[in-house]
Structure 1
Amino acid sequence: MKSSGKLSERLGSFPDPRTRIAYEAESLEDWELLAVLLGRGNRAQPIEDLSREVLHQCRGLGGLLQKKISDLTQIPGIGNAKATALIAAIEFARRLKWEALKGRVYSATQLINFLSTSLIPKNRECFVLITLSPEGTVLRAEIVAVGGLEEVGVQTRDLLKIVLNDAASAVIIAHNHPESSSKPSKEDIWIYKNFGQLLHSLGIRLLDQWIFGIDGIYSCKEGKVL
């Protein structure tokens, strides 16, 4: 057995991603990682073609994050078992990312990245509540209502109950405008001002309201798209 040569060169004779992932997981392409999750292809498509087709249909990993089981099973070659495995992997990754964020000192950049890539789907309107401790660490960042803001009937008393239970000293609220501009509506401004006043009366700061749209992220505090 030869000992010379780089590890990646010696492993060149093992094209199977399931073999390579044990040695060089970080070097695998997106389709190769997806192939490992999917396991096997079918009579019509080898796993290499199937995993590439999934990424193509989803327009990359970003699109895959937004898919539901019913969406994935519309892709030829993806049945319920493969679709549920992918959804489980996506949810697992989301939770790992949250665990890495939870308890850290507040960073607007990290929170916005977490919300836009891991929490807020692009095809549904969601209202998110973020609470911070007196020390400035993140206590909570979760969806508290799904649907249109008016339709789901976001109640300030429900939000306030969560904030008080967390013993938070500062709060951020956020929601998205699927397929539309991040420009705040009258209702968005009303919620930001009135909820902020309510929190202020209790000695709690409302740091901002972020609105995610197709043109970027609007900051109600800054009065502009970030």
Structure 2
Amino acid sequence: MKAIRDTYVGDRPREKIACKGVECLKNSELIAAIIGSGMPGRDVLQVATEIEKILNEAKGNPGYDNLLSVDGVGASKASQIVASFELVKRYMPRDAVKITKPHDILPLVDYLKVKKQEYFICVTLNGAGEVIENRVVTVGTLNHSPVHPREVFADAISDRAASVILVHNHPSGNPEPSADDIAVTERLLKSGEIVGISILDHIIIAKNGLVSLRERGYI
């Protein structure tokens, strides 16, 4: 692979964007334009090519920790890349996703199956049952993610959501609800009644499947 310093100036990623438009760049060149530089002994295009492989394997956002595994990617470059993905997610026009049954939520939260910490997610919905936003509320330890009603409903109120679906993962692989899961759900149901936002379901996802607390009769 030709090093960036040996590439004609007009063919370098950032210069190509200015002269020819961003659409002309290959994926590795786009990544190189984002991270800006390599490291001693590792050219930016070499680092970008390795990042591209990770993106292809992940089929999208590779995650901060995975990026750090690339030699030449530190906290700054990893942050730049994941921030780029998050911006696209927030601003890219998208078709409305309608939730009618528990498994409809899977495309939004399937990544939680492999997380080693417990994530608590709040999916806000409009009156038609269409997804407004999908947010991480808290990230906890191996088996616990502390959740406060204020954190769950603050953004839902800002979204003017009609309802929410709560989702959290069990890193153990077993989706069966614990006593704490049921207690948290009961507390949040009461809070939802106060603020006028209903909880349609609380779904627990794990490697071995998912459990809907609504289907179990807790909601």
User: TM-score range, shorter-chain basis?
Assistant: 0.5 to 0.7
The unaligned stretches of length 5 or more in structure 1 are 1-13
2:107 counterpart (109, 113, 122): 113
Taking a change above 3 Å as real, the CA distance of residues 194 and 65 of structure 1, as seen in their structure-2 partners, is same
Taking a change above 3 Å as real, the CA distance of residues 59 and 213 of structure 1, as seen in their structure-2 partners, is farther
Counterpart of 2:138?
Answer: 145
Counterpart Cα distance in 2 of 1:147 and 1:194 = 19
SS in 2 for 1:60: helix
User: Is 1:189–2:182 an aligned residue pair?
Assistant: yes
Structure with bigger RCO (C-alpha 8 Å, 6+ apart): 2
Sequence identity (%) = 26
Taking a change above 3 Å as real, the CA distance of residues 178 and 21 of structure 1, as seen in their structure-2 partners, is farther
Counterpart Cα distance in 2 of 1:80 and 1:204 = 38
User: Is 1:178–2:175 an aligned residue pair?
Assistant: no
TM-score by length of structure 2 reads: 0.62
Contact 1:65 1:90 in 2 (8 A): no
Counterpart of 1:9?
Answer: none
1:41-97 alpha-carbon deviations (Å, 9 max, x no partner): 4452344432343456788335853215xx745532224543332232122233235
Contact 1:125 1:175 in 2 (8 A): yes
Taking a change above 3 Å as real, the CA distance of residues 145 and 132 of structure 1, as seen in their structure-2 partners, is same
Contact 2:123 2:131 in 1 (8 A): yes
User: Is 1:67–2:60 an aligned residue pair?
Assistant: no
Taking a change above 3 Å as real, the CA distance of residues 158 and 56 of structure 1, as seen in their structure-2 partners, is closer
Counterpart Cα distance in 2 of 1:165 and 1:88 = 22
Counterpart of 2:42?
Answer: 45
The unaligned stretches of length 5 or more in structure 2 are 1-9
Contact 2:164 2:200 in 1 (8 A): yes
SS in 1 for 2:70: coil
Counterpart of 1:88?
Answer: 83
Q: Letter of the aligned partner of 2:58 in structure 1?
A: L
Contact 1:181 1:214 in 2 (8 A): yes
Counterpart of 1:210?
Answer: 203
Counterpart of 1:136?
Answer: 129
User: Is 1:100–2:94 an aligned residue pair?
Assistant: yes
**CA root-mean-square deviation:** 4.4
Counterpart Cα distance in 1 of 2:188 and 2:82 = 35
What is the CA distance between 1:21 and its match in structure 2? 7.3
What is the CA distance between 1:182 and its match in structure 2? 2.8
SS in 2 for 1:131: strand
Contact 2:118 2:143 in 1 (8 A): no
Contact 2:113 2:206 in 1 (8 A): no
Q: 4+ runs of 1 displaced by more than 6 Å?
A: 14-18, 200-203
